[in-house]
């Protein structure tokens, strides 16, 4: 399948997780989700829907947070390939410390660790790039968090997200597809800068950034409002020409001041950088609103790749880097 077909298939990925019987984690322990790249993005999507009674956070590095063992954390390890070395290092540390662990993977060494240590797994369909399989992973993680008491009704939230995406993608010719291609055309050769409000919008902006990075093989940048109004905004004063294009992501549930800030930013940046456009969220639960914002960015990233004559699926530089790292090549 092509990357565009994978995007259009996101509603089916999400529905795969509805009604699935999955293991839970102890509900009274803080939860650490281990993940990198597309798997970490899936974890962040699911966490948006959580209303936990204990801390629930995503750890994207080696090992575990320094406090995890001492506080008896529960570990949800997410690695689409099953071979992510940062995640595996955290799993090993958790197993050695006797912490409860659940894995989400399509196989690889994480499945082997599960068999050896006896912790449960949620098996997701494999054969895709991790970023393309984000729907499978997000649905699986949401189900585990629901079984652990941290999401009230994961099936309802996942179903809404799938329904919203169905309407926006419409088999490859929906409004999100048209908007994504239009925004890609307006961006042209500009470097994309995506801003969203704290929470859903900021998470979606980061997904836009990473999709442009991996699919279009271009630099892109994401920022969070209001935080960037206290630092990054000042840097735009030095911009004298227009190599950048700003996209604003607006979530209906943003604090009212977020919208006012995004409006005012267009005035402040006027004449220095092109405001290419904006995307507004659809849906009620955070997961649906997230995917409604990112569907447009997913399509835009593929359209940018197509415009440059690039196949968006392979990530040769990342794979070469992993090989060099494994061999210890300086």
**How far is it, in rounded angstroms, from Cα 103 to Cα 113?**
9
Tell me which of 255, 272, 275, 322 is the catalytic residue: 322
Tell me which of 230, 232, 234, 278 is the catalytic residue: 230
Judge whether 96 and 53 are in contact, CB under 8 Å: no
Sole residue written with tokens 């020409």: 241
Q: How far is CA 303 from CA 5, 187, 201, in A?
A: 13, 11, 22
Please provide the size of the chain in residues.
330
The alpha carbon of residue 32 and the mean position of all alpha carbons in its chain are separated, in whole angstroms, by: 16
Neighbours of 255 (CB within 10 A): 14
- Single out the residue of 113, 100, 179 nearest to residue 147, CA to CA: 100
Sole residue written with tokens 């456009």: 277
Residue 237 falls in the annotated catalytic set: no
Tell me which of 182, 214, 278, 327 is the catalytic residue: 214
Cross-strand pairs, 274: 245
- Single out the residue of 276, 292, 273 nearest to residue 284, CA to CA: 292
Residue 322 falls in the annotated catalytic set: yes
Judged by DSSP in three states, 85 sits in helix
Angle at CA 133, nearest 5°, toward 132 and 138? 125
Residue 230 falls in the annotated catalytic set: yes
Angle at CA 265, nearest 5°, toward 263 and 268? 125
Judge whether 264 and 211 are in contact, CB under 8 Å: no
Judge whether 217 and 310 are in contact, CB under 8 Å: yes
Q: How far is CA 330 from CA 2, 323, 324, in A?
A: 34, 11, 8
Active-site annotation, residues: 214, 230, 322
């Amino acid at each position: 399948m092509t990357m565009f077909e994978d995007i259009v298939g996101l509603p089916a990925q999400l529905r795969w997780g509805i009604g699935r019987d999955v293991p839970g984690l102890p509900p009274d322990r803080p939860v650490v989700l281990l993940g990198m790249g597309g798997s970490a993005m899936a974890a962040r999507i699911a966490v948006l829907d959580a209303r936990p009674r204990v801390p629930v956070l995503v750890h994207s590095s080696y090992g575990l947070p320094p406090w995890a063992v001492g506080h008896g954390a529960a570990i949800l390890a997410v690695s689409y390939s099953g071979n992510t070395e940062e995640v595996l290092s955290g799993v090993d540390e958790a197993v050695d410390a006797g912490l409860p662990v659940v894995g989400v993977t399509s196989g690889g060494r994480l499945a082997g660790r599960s068999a050896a240590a006896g912790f449960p797994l949620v098996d997701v369909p494999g054969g895709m790039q991790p970023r393309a399989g984000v729907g499978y992973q997000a649905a699986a993680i949401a189900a585990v968090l629901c079984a652990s008491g941290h999401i009230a009704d994961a099936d309802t939230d996942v179903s809404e997200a799938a329904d919203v995406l169905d309407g926006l993608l419409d088999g490859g010719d929906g409004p999100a597809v048209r908007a994504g291609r239009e925004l890609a055309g307006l961006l042209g050769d500009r470097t994309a800068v995506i801003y969203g409000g704290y929470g859903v919008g900021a998470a979606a902006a980061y997904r836009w950034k990473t999709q442009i990075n991996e699919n279009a093989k271009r630099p892109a940048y994401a920022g969070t409002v209001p935080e960037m109004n206290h630092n990054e905004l000042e840097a735009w004063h030095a911009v004298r020409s227009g190599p950048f294009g700003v996209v604003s992501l607006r979530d209906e549930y943003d604090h009212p001041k977020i919208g006012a800030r995004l409006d005012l930013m267009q005035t402040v940046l006027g004449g220095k950088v092109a405001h290419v456009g904006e995307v507004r969220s659809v849906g009620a639960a955070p997961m649906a609103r997230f995917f409604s914002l990112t569907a447009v960015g997913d399509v835009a990233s593929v359209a940018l790749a197509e415009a440059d004559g690039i196949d968006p699926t392979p990530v040769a530089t990342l794979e070469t880097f992993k090989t060099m790292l494994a061999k210890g090549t300086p």
